[in-house]
Chain A
Amino acid sequence: MTRVLIVEDVAETRDWLNTVAAAAFPGCTTILVGGVRAALAALEETRPDVALIDIGLPDGSGIDLLREIRRTCPATLCVITTVLGDDANIVAALSVGANGYLLKEQAPDRIIRQMAQLADGIPALSPSIARRIMEHFRLTGPVANEELTLTARERQVLGFISRGLRNVDVAQQLGLGEATVASHIKAIYRKLGISSRAEASWHATRMGLTPKGDGP
């Protein structure tokens, strides 16, 4: 039984996310909370399998909450949700360790599909986010540490995505399987996280990749 924690301050949206989660993970139990404090309290009682976290919460930062969940429940699938959050905030969340993100104004069927894909381990990545990530790696420069640089294949994948291809199209272009493309994207996320923790550079701040997570 999948346990889904939904952290969302707008009541109507919280209910809507509830129905969406029920559709995406049939038979799941949902825990609905309206803020960071309530979320932390819920975390003490139970470990969720999936967490849908709103970036803009009234009583704290969604990204800090994300970091906390990552620390205490490493196995949880963390997805951040946003409607007006800009790209910088999203990339900041990704670098902190989110598995993916959802834009709340999309049509329900699209969101359900994306959520299911995330649960299957296929991360979604929009072109503008991909561009931002490319920019980050470009600005932080080549590093001696293998952990931090993107491989040529990863750069290719990122490039195609930034031009508007979806995972399936990228797979077609490169002659790879979709799962391979997905694993490349996961590697990119991981390196993003490491790289932005390691780099305290001006660029990381500018890209919104510092712990505060505030965009420009």
Chain B
Amino acid sequence: MKATLTPLPIMVAALVAMIALAASVVWLGLIQPWTGMQLVRAEGAGLLIQRVAPDGPAATAGLQQGETVIAIAGLPLQALDIVEEPDTLRSYDDSRLFFARQGQIYQALRTGAVAVDVEGPAGGRRVTLEPRQSRPLSALSAAFWLQLFTGAGGTLIGAWVWSLRIRDPAAQLTALAGLALAIIVFPAAIYSTRDLALSADLFRVLAATDHFGAFAFGVAMVALFYVYPHQIVSLRRLVLLPVLMGLWWLADTLRIVFSGPPTGFHLPALLMLLAFLPAAVMQHRLSRHEPGTRAALRWFTLAVAFGTGTFVSLVVLPNLFGLRQMTSQANAFLLLLIVFAGIGLSVARYRLFELETWAFGLLFNLATVVAIFALDALLVFVLAVNGVQALSFAMILVLLAYLPLRDALRRRRASSEVQQGALFQKVVDVALTPPDLDQNHRWTDLLREAYDPLRLQVGAPVASPQIAEDGLVLALPAVGGVSAVRLGYAQGGRRLFSRADSALARDLCAMLAHALESRHAREMGVAEERARISRDMHDNIGAKLLSALHCDGADRKDLMIRDALSDFRDIINDTSAEIRSLEEALADLRVECADRLEAAGISLDWDAQEEEGQTVLLANAAHALRSILREAVSNVIRHAEARCVAVQVRCDRGRIELSIRDDGRGFLPGAKTPAGHGHGLTNIRTRLEALNGGLQLEGCAKGTQLTASFLLTKGGAHP
């Protein structure tokens, strides 16, 4: 049985190979002769010295920045000699001339001492330059490293994609394309950053290799499009393409059949790019029922369109039509890397559902840029408008069209946000569903409105909203009484679930949970209040009415019934007003006691601690306070024959100490109280026990004193 290769060893092997390859490229770049000066195009004849390395041979020879090098070893220098990429030449004759001159210059540099004709501000002079036979690392420019990075990056991405799906033809083609990218870029890195000249043979080999890589890249990309995601053309038939392109490459390398690089190299590049257009259309049509595949395809198309499209328009097209390339080779290759990254992600099917949110915007912007360039080209070539004016016109015209279009799109997106606001209102409706309606039903209706899924069913519980099956499914958790739901195929199957969708789901669930909790809390509060009222009524009023019913004297009956009515009002007031405080209760009782005592001709001396603020009372405590004072005063009025009553109230750490003293007759302990009148205090004693308190009655000749102490507030201290 074949051993299956896991991604990690493949990646490690790829990395090692890449490092080795990169090292050899660097080595090749370093073994070239070093002049220590950077040459660029000059106004007239020769080449301008743009920069001189401080410790290089040019500096030693006395060459300075700003001077013009007219000739080297008798050979007059031209702009042709420092051309970055031989592909930009117009014909094969130019290529041959170029390589011949490169050989000559190289030979001269390798001799060790070379005569250089220089023209400076002081006039012309001849200088002997002694180039070093190898270059320092610092001589390798940023462009070199950028291209090295591009090549390495491309190959590693290809290797990664292949490591995930070894047998998949699409992944294999991607890996090949990655390798081809390296083959394009590494030689280009060496010759495009050369120090004036390379050996003719080396240069030819590097150029040919570079073209080979380019053809291979093109072939791999076209083949990929005809094979992924659906196999439109069988692999056997596809062999035709590399054969054809191989022949074309051979012709270009040997410089036969065609007239020059434009037709030999740039034309096939353009043709290959165009070849994938019908494939793209077909793939889209075949994928219209599969949201997952469609999303992968969009990544793919986007990457190819963006990267390759800009590469072609910035590099290939200008060369094809004889215009100057608009950007340096190195930057252009970076674009290819971007293509490649997109393709890799697509083939690896990596987080496809992220694409939806920003891909459209990106494509839109890209289309705008292309439109500007196209319009510009039209104006310049067809209408023969001046270059700068043409570009300005193009930009203005496109912007005039672009801005309203963008607004229209933004308004469409905003309307979808408005719908979201309405959704949140519906969430509250779900939470407040009356008991006779189905809450689950309302919730699924809301989800249908939000996402329009093809499938909706009860699912396994999850902790929080998650996207599953690469964006095909959105799983929602259970919230309160609502069950967990699994949604499939967003918007009628037209798109995948994205991160925005799961974020919305998170918000909806959080809101529902909060609303349900609030509803529950409120219902609990209402239930508690009802229970309290009924408890109050039972405890106090019920007890008093029962006492009234069962006691003998008519006076006493009246008193009990009056008390019950007054308690009734207290309960009603308690529920409608805010919390009852000790200070309020004492104030009410003071007036009542004073009135009653005054009616009996007894004066009242009230001494209560003035409390700052409000002490909230336990309901039982309020009743106990009232009962004690009323009972005590009643007793004094009836029996004591007193002249004055002194009431003292002290509060400490949630406990109250109450004392009621009169200066009347007093009573002897053990004396019998008249029948029917003794029960009041007994009832109160029982109630005080529940409040962790007690009551004492002391009598002496000078009068009676009743002291009571009990809990006032929830956290009160114990005796």
Q: Judging by beta carbons under 8 Å apart, are B588 and A126 in contact? A: yes
Q: Tell me, rounded to whole Å, the shortest Cβ–Cβ distance linking A163 to chain B.
A: 5
Tell me the dominant secondary structure on chain B's binding face: helix
Q: Tell me, rounded to whole Å, the shortest Cβ–Cβ distance linking A10 to chain B.
A: 13
- Looking at B318-326, B430-438, B592-600, the stretch in contact with chain A turns out to be B592-600
Contact with A along B551-575 (1 / 0, CB 8 A): 0000000100110011011001100
Let me know if A106 is at the binding interface, CB within 8 A: yes
Let me know if A212 is at the binding interface, CB within 8 A: no
**CA separation between A83 and B588, bound complex, in Å?**
16
Let me know if A216 is at the binding interface, CB within 8 A: yes
- Looking at B155-163, B407-415, B576-584, B675-683, the stretch in contact with chain A turns out to be B576-584
Q: Judging by beta carbons under 8 Å apart, are B591 and A83 in contact? A: no
Q: Judging by beta carbons under 8 Å apart, are B569 and A83 in contact? A: yes
Let me know if A178 is at the binding interface, CB within 8 A: no
Let me know if B589 is at the binding interface, CB within 8 A: yes
Task: List the B residue with the shortest CB-CB distance to A85.
Answer: B569
Let me know if B382 is at the binding interface, CB within 8 A: no
Tell me the dominant secondary structure on chain A's binding face: loop
**CA separation between A34 and B591, bound complex, in Å?**
32
**CA separation between A98 and B591, bound complex, in Å?**
21
Q: Tell me, rounded to whole Å, the shortest Cβ–Cβ distance linking B328 to chain A.
A: 73
**CA separation between A87 and B584, bound complex, in Å?**
13
Neighbouring B residues of A105 by C-beta, 8 Å: 561-562, 565-566
Q: Judging by beta carbons under 8 Å apart, are B590 and A109 in contact? A: no
Q: Judging by beta carbons under 8 Å apart, are B596 and A110 in contact? A: yes
Task: Identify B606's interface contact among A88, A131, A164, A216, CB under 8 A.
Answer: A164
**CA separation between A88 and B599, bound complex, in Å?**
28
Q: Judging by beta carbons under 8 Å apart, are B599 and A164 in contact? A: no
**CA separation between A145 and B589, bound complex, in Å?**
36
Contact A127-B596, Cβ < 8 Å, known A87-B573, A216-B576: no
Contact A88-B576, Cβ < 8 Å, known A83-B565, A105-B566, A109-B599: yes
Q: Judging by beta carbons under 8 Å apart, are A166 and B591 in contact? A: yes
Contact with B along A138-175 (1 / 0, CB 8 A): 00000000000000000000000011111001000000
Neighbouring A residues of B562 by C-beta, 8 Å: 105-107
Q: Tell me, rounded to whole Å, the shortest Cβ–Cβ distance linking B596 to chain A.
A: 7
Q: Judging by beta carbons under 8 Å apart, are B565 and A86 in contact? A: no
Let me know if A75 is at the binding interface, CB within 8 A: no
Chain A contact patch, size range = 20 to 34
Let me know if B587 is at the binding interface, CB within 8 A: yes
Q: Judging by beta carbons under 8 Å apart, are A166 and B594 in contact? A: yes
Task: Identify A86's interface contact among B561, B576, B583, B588, CB under 8 A.
Answer: B576
Q: Judging by beta carbons under 8 Å apart, are B565 and A84 in contact? A: yes
Q: Tell me, rounded to whole Å, the shortest Cβ–Cβ distance linking B608 to chain A.
A: 8
**CA separation between A126 and B590, bound complex, in Å?**
10
**CA separation between A83 and B596, bound complex, in Å?**
18
Let me know if A113 is at the binding interface, CB within 8 A: yes
Q: Judging by beta carbons under 8 Å apart, are B590 and A84 in contact? A: no
Q: Tell me, rounded to whole Å, the shortest Cβ–Cβ distance linking A35 to chain B.
A: 22
Contact with B along A87-127 (1 / 0, CB 8 A): 11000000000000001011101100100000000000011
Neighbouring B residues of A164 by C-beta, 8 Å: 586-591, 594, 606
Neighbouring B residues of A169 by C-beta, 8 Å: 594
Q: Judging by beta carbons under 8 Å apart, are B591 and A110 in contact? A: no
Q: Judging by beta carbons under 8 Å apart, are B587 and A162 in contact? A: yes
**Most chain-B Cβ atoms within 10 A of its Cβ — which of A85, A109, A128, A164?**
A164
Let me know if A211 is at the binding interface, CB within 8 A: no
Q: Tell me, rounded to whole Å, the shortest Cβ–Cβ distance linking A21 to chain B.
A: 19
**CA separation between A9 and B95, bound complex, in Å?**
121
Task: List the B residue with the shortest CB-CB distance to A83.
Answer: B565
**CA separation between A103 and B568, bound complex, in Å?**
12
**CA separation between A165 and B577, bound complex, in Å?**
22
Neighbouring B residues of A166 by C-beta, 8 Å: 591, 594-595
**CA separation between A131 and B586, bound complex, in Å?**
13
Contact with A along B57-92 (1 / 0, CB 8 A): 000000000000000000000000000000000000
**CA separation between A215 and B573, bound complex, in Å?**
10
**CA separation between A194 and B683, bound complex, in Å?**
47
Contact with B along A64-91 (1 / 0, CB 8 A): 0000000000000000000111111000
Neighbouring B residues of A131 by C-beta, 8 Å: 584, 587
Known contacts A84-B569, A88-B577, A164-B589, then 11 further A-B pairs from the complex at CB < 8 Å, ordered by chain A residue: A85-B569, A86-B569, A87-B576, A105-B561, A106-B562, A127-B584, A127-B587, A128-B587, A131-B584, A162-B587, A169-B594
Chain A interface residues toward B at CB < 8 A: 83-88, 103, 105-107, 109-110, 113, 126-128, 131, 162-166, 169, 215-216
The 7 closest A-B pairs by CB, nearest first: A164-B590, A164-B587, A105-B565, A127-B587, A105-B562, A163-B587, A86-B572
Chain B interface residues toward A at CB < 8 A: 558, 561-562, 565-566, 568-569, 572-573, 576-577, 583-584, 586-591, 594-596, 599, 606
Show 23 A/B contacts (Cβ-Cβ < 8 Å), sorted by A: A83-B568, A83-B569, A84-B569, A87-B573, A103-B566, A105-B562, A105-B565, A107-B562, A107-B596, A107-B599, A113-B599, A128-B584, A128-B588, A131-B587, A163-B590, A164-B587, A164-B590, A164-B591, A164-B594, A164-B606, A165-B590, A165-B591, A169-B594
